């Protein structure tokens, strides 16, 4: 069963097309590791550095994107502030995937869709009863949802790379 859920926040990045190339260039210049273990194969990821906010692309994305996202999120959701706990990128080449998982010790999971070559490889998010949630996502969107919702990145079946930046956040309510 596919359901529509209202516990999601979707933010469209203004002027995303103007930011995309610089952001991708900065991501590819970053330190990364290949992750290849049970349940996960990601060609390029800097998750090991996710608490270091002094990386070039992180500074860029905070300045150009996350600051405005945070203001809009707080305004829309009546919260006082949002705390970004960590941030990392993942580049999925053909055959890469990340099986179903959650993000414990956070209120929200956030995914910035940098490059999504085809709709069928977008993130799948599920209710706790395992029903898939129908979410329309495009490049330049940030999807925010409860961190305890199971989600996965299906196998990249296309020749182009899927690129996302993820971050965990918690909020303070007014």
Domains and CATH numbers, the chain: 2-102+117-173 (2.60.120.620)
- What are 49's two structure tokens? 């550095």
Confidence check: pLDDT of 170 > 80: yes
Confidence check: pLDDT of 78 > 50: yes
Q: What is the pTM of this model?
A: 0.94
- What are 116's two structure tokens? 């999504």
The answer to whether residues 136 and 51 touch, using CB atoms and an 8 Å cutoff, is: no
DSSP 64: I
Question: What pLDDT score was predicted for residue 129?
Answer: 87
Contacts of 86 (CB under 8 A, 6+ apart): 50, 51, 167, 168
What tens digit of pLDDT does each residue of 24-73 get?
Answer: 999 999 999 999 999 999 999 999 999 999 999 999 999 999 999 999 99
Query: Whose structure tokens read 């990392």?
Result: 88
């Amino acid at each position: 069963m596919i359901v529509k859920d209202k516990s999601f926040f979707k933010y469209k990045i203004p002027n995303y097309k103007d930011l995309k190339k610089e952001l991708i260039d900065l991501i590819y210049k970053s330190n990364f590791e290949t992750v290849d273990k049970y349940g996960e194969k990601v060609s390029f990821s800097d998750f090991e550095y996710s608490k270091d906010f002094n990386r070039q692309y992180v500074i860029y994305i905070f300045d150009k994107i996350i600051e405005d996202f945070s203001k809009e999120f707080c305004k829309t959701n009546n919260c006082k502030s949002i705390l970004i706990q960590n941030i990392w990128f993942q580049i999925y080449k053909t055959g890469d995937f990340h099986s179903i998982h959650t993000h414990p010790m956070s209120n929200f999971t956030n995914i910035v869709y940098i490059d999504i070559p085809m709709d069928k490889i977008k993130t799948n998010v599920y209710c706790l009863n395992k029903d898939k949630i129908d979410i329309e996502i495009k490049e330049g969107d940030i999807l925010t949802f409860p961190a305890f919702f199971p989600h996965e990145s299906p196998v990249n079946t296309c020749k182009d790379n899927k690129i996302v930046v993820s971050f965990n956040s918690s909020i303070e309510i007014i």
